[in-house]
Amino acid sequence: MSINSALLAGVSGLIANSSALAAISDNIANTNTTAYKRTQINFANVVTSQVVKGRYSAGGVEAITRNFIGNQGLIQPAASDTDLAIAGNGFFVVTDKGANVTTQDPRFFTRSGSFSVDADGYLVNDSGYYLQGWPADATGTIVTDPSDLSQMNSINIRDLGAQVLQTSEVLINGNLDKRGITGSVGDATYAGGTVASMADYADNPATGTRPDFTFQMNIIDSGGGSRRVAMSFLKDSSAANSWHAEIYAVPASDVAGATRPGQIAQGLMTFQADGSFDEANSTLFGVTAGIGNPPNIALAASSAGAGLRWASGLGINASSIDLDITKFTQFSATSAVASINPDGAPLGNVSGVEVTEDGNVTAIFDNNLVRLVAQIGLATFANPDGLSAVGGNAYSQSTRSGEYSVKAPQLGGAGSIQSSSLEASTVDLSAEFTGLITTQRAYSASSKIITTADQMLEELINIKR
């Protein structure tokens, strides 16, 4: 009966517009939700077969939910270094637990990057989801797998413990005064450093030769301790561009097995006529170093054996330090050291975290040491709008979304990571309020269908009277 179909069409209109109101309500409520993706209700007519000629049966309307999960939201600056946004395609891979993640634990996908460090050191967002990434091994190597989420783990930046970087390179920039020092004792009693050396003078001024110029530098040993090493120079009176040079420990007791007190190396440093360092003819380390190859300080580990070594009482590993002295010059100006740049770092603890555009997560220590922790992987889908919502602004894979592919940011169509940024909601309030008005009117119109059909039925019933 056509009146009954009109009633049902009116009811379907009420139901469909109620769904539209619910979707608009969700959108408006989540205007300020990080990376929220708006939902829209589209309407489609329902067609029924017209079995009786000259009569029309209304089919009504049905509500079809459409998710705009793949839409990019505006990226806005944020205060925290661990607030992350994705510029382009992809989703963060997350799970609902930090420690002891197994292959049976579900993984979810989100663009909500409001991560912070929890009490256990894990990166977790406001919804309680833990960020997953490929961990770096002890050498800083990362192995990625685009199809196996079990290779990823919750990123933790606190379980690194304290870190020490043993000095392996020192770059020195300085000048030696070509004029020497007026009134210096000279090198008459120096005898190549085998007797009355500058190392002797440092240990006991009464027994050694006073240098023309000395400076000290700090190096970090394997235990994080700071060791003092000195370099002393004495102008060679027999050669205009040659200097006697020694390297020794301060105090001398730090080094055992040395020919002179604490002495590590001794020889000549020579210069060209233009004042530049003549590495090819310098013998500070016993042999010609060779152009472009920094000389090396080598000290064996603490032991009681023979040979040049750290004193056994220090209990530290061997040291091998490239000493780049190629920036030394010899000009007629006061001897001075412009800069000493060692690469070592004493004991330090994690003080911050940094995330690069390609997803590398590095821990920053308070001794300026930086360690690679993990790399964030981004999951991409053939149809991101087909993902299933699971709450907390996260999604799970579905048959409509297709299979995931996890890759490093900026590779294979995946977007880049923007640190200190958050993706805004894709909700447009003006559009939602306009939809609210039209939905309200459509709902009222559908109710009028029911009212009118009811009046017609009442007239039909009154015919009997």
pLDDT digits (tens, 9 = 90+) for 129-184: 999 999 888 777 888 877 778 888 899 887 776 777 888 899 999 999 998 765 45
Could you tell me if 200 and 261 are in contact, meaning their C-beta atoms sit under 8 angstroms apart?
yes
pLDDT at residue 342 greater than cutoff 80: yes
Distance from C-alpha of 252 to C-alpha of 222, rounded to nearest angstrom = 19
**What string of DSSP letters covers 125-150?**
ETTSPEEEEEEB-TTS-B---TT-GG
Return the CATH class of domain 164-347.
mainly beta
Q: Which ranges in the chain are annotated with CATH 2.60.98.20?
A: 164-347
- Residues with Cβ within 8 Å of 148's Cβ and at least 6 positions away in sequence, in order, are none
Distance from C-alpha of 446 to C-alpha of 448, rounded to nearest angstrom = 5
pTM of the predicted protein model: 0.70
Beta bridge partners of 44: 62
The confidence score (pLDDT) of residue 277 equals 92
The confidence score (pLDDT) of residue 140 equals 76
User: Residue 451, class by beta-carbon neighbours within 10 Å (0-12 exposed, 13-18 middle, 19+ buried)?
Assistant: exposed
349 SS3 class: coil
DSSP 72: P
Closest CA to 415 of 5, 1, 67, 91: 91
pLDDT digits (tens, 9 = 90+) for 146-161: 777 888 889 988 777 6
Q: List % helix, strand, coil for the chain (3-state, nearest 5).
A: 20, 35, 45
pLDDT digits (tens, 9 = 90+) for 283-315: 886 544 444 456 777 888 888 777 889 998 899
Q: How far is CA 165 from CA 355, 372, 408, in A?
A: 22, 14, 29
- Residues with Cβ within 8 Å of 356's Cβ and at least 6 positions away in sequence, in order, are 362, 417, 419
Dihedral (CA of 307, 309, 314, 318) sign: negative
pLDDT at residue 102 greater than cutoff 70: yes
Determine the distance from the C-alpha atom of residue 232 to the mean position of all C-alpha atoms in its chain, rounded to a whole number.
42
Span of 48-62, 121-135, 325-339 with lowest mean pLDDT:
48-62
